[in-house]
């Protein structure tokens, strides 16, 4: 049931991933799920760059070097994390958004649509037993130096993915009635 899948979706971090690879067919299924997100005016703004193998390791090196270049007091723990997260992942998907060149709708709607595409990927990963995590470090503004981004395209973050061992810890939420007002 979809409701249970929604409740089971969690952030599973790269440090929790094991070495099991994700089959290309599963990656394609996850991306196809993203493609069915709602899209106002049918702009379909989501764009994805899938990194596996050496390319994800190269991204980790790029991120850690860029961090050291732009931060006046870089922390070794952050340098390591930026480099190790991609390496620990079976795949990393750069989440990008292509702005409608006509600007026929507000940018926030295209960002929201892209986020819904990522939620579809996340739910699909949950169903397949693949851990995933959306990270959006400040360094995403430099991804045009790593990828060949098109005019109006920007990176919104990274979707780290990998199989993991162990249990998913249930999350707690405050009751919905504390967040809703009814009007009749």
Largest CA-CA distance found in the chain, in angstroms, rounded: 58
Residue 94 lies in a domain: yes
Residue 16 lies in a domain: no
Q: Is 154 annotated as a binding residue?
A: no
Q: Is 113 annotated as a binding residue?
A: no
Residue 178 lies in a domain: no
Q: Is 182 annotated as a binding residue?
A: no
Number of domains in the chain: 1
Q: Is 171 annotated as a binding residue?
A: no
Residue 22 lies in a domain: no
Residue 108 lies in a domain: yes
Cα→Cα distances 71→76, 78, 169, Å: 12, 11, 34
> Nearest 5 degrees, angle CA 80-CA 135-CA 139?
65
Question: Any idea what the CATH number is for the domain that residue 127 is in?
Answer: 3.40.109.10
Global pTM value? 0.94
Q: Is 10 annotated as a binding residue?
A: yes
Q: Tokens 């994800």 map to which residue?
A: 56
- The pLDDT score that the predictor gives to residue 167 is 84
User: Residue 171 is encoded by which pair of tokens?
Assistant: 């999350």
Give the residues across from 48 on adjacent strands.
95
**Residue 163 contacts residue 23 (beta carbons within 8 Å):** no
Phi, psi of 77 (to 5 degrees): -60, -40
What is the full per-residue pLDDT of the chain (184 aa) written as tens digits?
899 999 999 999 999 999 999 999 999 999 999 999 999 999 999 999 999 999 999 999 999 999 999 999 999 999 999 999 999 999 999 999 999 999 999 999 999 999 999 999 999 999 999 999 999 999 999 999 999 999 999 999 999 999 999 888 878 899 999 999 999 9
Residue 182 lies in a domain: no
Residues spanned by the domain of 148: 31-165
Residue 134 lies in a domain: yes
Q: Give per-residue burial for 133-161: e unless 16+ CB within 10 Å, then b.
A: bbbebebbebbeebbebeeebbbbbbbbb
Q: Is 122 annotated as a binding residue?
A: no
Residue 25 lies in a domain: no
**Residue 137 contacts residue 81 (beta carbons within 8 Å):** no
Q: Is 36 annotated as a binding residue?
A: no
């Amino acid at each position: 049931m979809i409701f249970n899948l929604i409740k089971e979706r969690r952030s599973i971090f790269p440090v929790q991933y094991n070495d099991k690879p994700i089959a290309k067919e599963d990656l394609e299924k996850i991306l196809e799920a993203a493609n069915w997100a709602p899209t106002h005016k049918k702009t379909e703004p989501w764009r994805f760059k899938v990194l596996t193998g050496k390319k994800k390791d190269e991204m980790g090196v790029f991120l850690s070097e860029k961090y050291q270049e732009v931060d006046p007091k870089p922390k070794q723990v952050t340098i390591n994390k930026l480099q190790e997260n991609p390496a620990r992942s079976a795949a990393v998907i750069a989440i990008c958004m292509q702005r409608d060149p006509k600007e026929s709708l507000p940018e926030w709607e295209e960002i929201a649509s892209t986020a819904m595409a990522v939620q579809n990927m996340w739910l699909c990963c949950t169903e397949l037993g693949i851990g995933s995590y959306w990270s959006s470090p400040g360094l995403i503004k430099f991804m045009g130096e790593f990828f060949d981004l098109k005019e109006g395209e920007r990176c919104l973050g990274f979707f780290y993915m990998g199989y993991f061992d162990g249990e998913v810890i249930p999350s707690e939420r405050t009751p919905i009635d504390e967040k809703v007002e009814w009007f009749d």
